[in-house]
Amino acid sequence: MSDHVSRPFHSLPDPWRWHIGVALFVTLWWMLYRQLSPIAEWIVAAIPVDRHSHTGEALAFFFYDVPKVMMLLTLIVFAMGVVRSYFSAEKTRSLLSGRREGIGNVFAAGLGVLTPFCSCSAVPLFIGFVSAGVPLGVTFSFLIAAPMVNEVALVLLFGLVGWQVALTYLAFGLGIAIAAGFVIGQLHLEGWLQDWVRDIHSGASAPDMPECEGRRMVDRYRLGIEAVREIFGKVWKWILLGIAMGALIHGYVPENLMASIMGAEAWWSVPAAVVLGIPMYTNAAGVIPIVEALLGKGAALGTVLAFMMSVIALSLPEMIILKQVLTYRLIAVFICVVGSGILAVGFLFNLIF
């Protein structure tokens, strides 16, 4: 990133080279982003197909959406990587432990978005929270918000569907996490944890890990770049595949085909979408391009979003992981509470939009 500018640049102290590099990158990004539509048209024009044919429509969709989504992802994931470097699971836990239900659920959902989280450490995190006195419902608010409201989902919704939908998704995603955690807290189901989890309730305590305090800005930029590399390594093929499928649907599936099966009039389509989403497990990147194409063909927004939330937040593999700490009864309650939340959002969206 620092190769653009010549000699005087190298005499600058390291942090400033990074600041300038990042600023330069953002400027270039913005200039390129504004030119995406003409570039896509230019590419399609260079391919010997009729622009207004099915193939032409599909190609234009593909060559515009792929670079757009990739560019948005790069910028936002980098920014989130830098923001997340100020947070850690340990810090979040100490912010949440002993907090009252209600306000605690709100905090937990918000922190779920900001704290670095990988679903592979869901179990140790769960135990770490509960054993340090974070109320069960508050812990659930965190664990629901963390995967559901993530920047990849938001970027894709923003880029492919529109900012209104992205914002609404953010609000309702947080809403479900807060409400579902609160309900689970009110049910007082601590007895439904696996026995051994209760046993270490007051036992193990983690040493403080002050790493996120002492980071320099340069380290934070590096973490941002690391996040971009990691996310792209995970999602690029899903995005390509998803947008390719989206492009096919966009070009070939007749208008309003989806309206009868996934339209707002078919009330049963929302619960069906939720149930269908549970066994499916993919990240937001794989679902959203299909979501956009379905919407374009008359599927109702609420139905499509319910499907998406169900795929991301209620997944079978995650249940299997959580089985190590929760009893089946508690998992069933979890599915019912979160599922009802998603249903409510689905119906509400169909009503509003």
Partner 1 sequence: MTTVKVYGPGCKRCETTAQMVRDAAASLGLEVEVEKVTDPKSIAMAGVMSTPGISIDGKLVHAGGLPDKNKLEDWLSA
Residues that bind partner 1 (CB under 8 A): 88-90, 93, 116-118, 120-121, 123-125, 127-129, 131, 196, 200, 203-207, 209, 211, 219, 223, 226, 321, 324-325
**SS3 string of 292-319?**
HHHHHCCCCHHHHHHHHHHHHHCCHHHH
Is residue 326 helix, strand or coil? strand
Is residue 193 helix, strand or coil? strand
Using the minimum distance from each CB to partner 1, give the nearer residue, 23 or 209: 209
Shortest Å, Cβ 139 to partner 1 = 11
Using the minimum distance from each CB to partner 1, give the nearer residue, 160 or 330: 330
Using the minimum distance from each CB to partner 1, give the nearer residue, 89 or 333: 89
Residues 247 and 34: their CA atoms lie apart, in Å, by 21
Residues 349 and 192: their CA atoms lie apart, in Å, by 34
Using the minimum distance from each CB to partner 1, give the nearer residue, 8 or 207: 207
Using the minimum distance from each CB to partner 1, give the nearer residue, 124 or 279: 124
Sequence-ordered list of residues with C-beta below 8 angstroms from that of 281, at least 6 positions apart, any chain: 311, 315, 316, 317, 318
Shortest Å, Cβ 238 to partner 1 = 16
Angle 245-248-250 (CA atoms, 0-180°, nearest 5)?
A: 105
Shortest Å, Cβ 106 to partner 1 = 21
Shortest Å, Cβ 225 to partner 1 = 12
Using the minimum distance from each CB to partner 1, give the nearer residue, 121 or 260: 121
Return the residue matching tokens 């990004």.
29
At 193, phi and psi to the nearest 5? Answer: -75, 160
**Per-residue tokens: 329:** 């009864």
DSSP 8-state class, residue 29: H
Shortest Å, Cβ 120 to partner 1 = 4
Task: Report how far apart the first and last C-alpha atoms of the chain are (Å, whole number).
Answer: 43
Shortest Å, Cβ 314 to partner 1 = 20
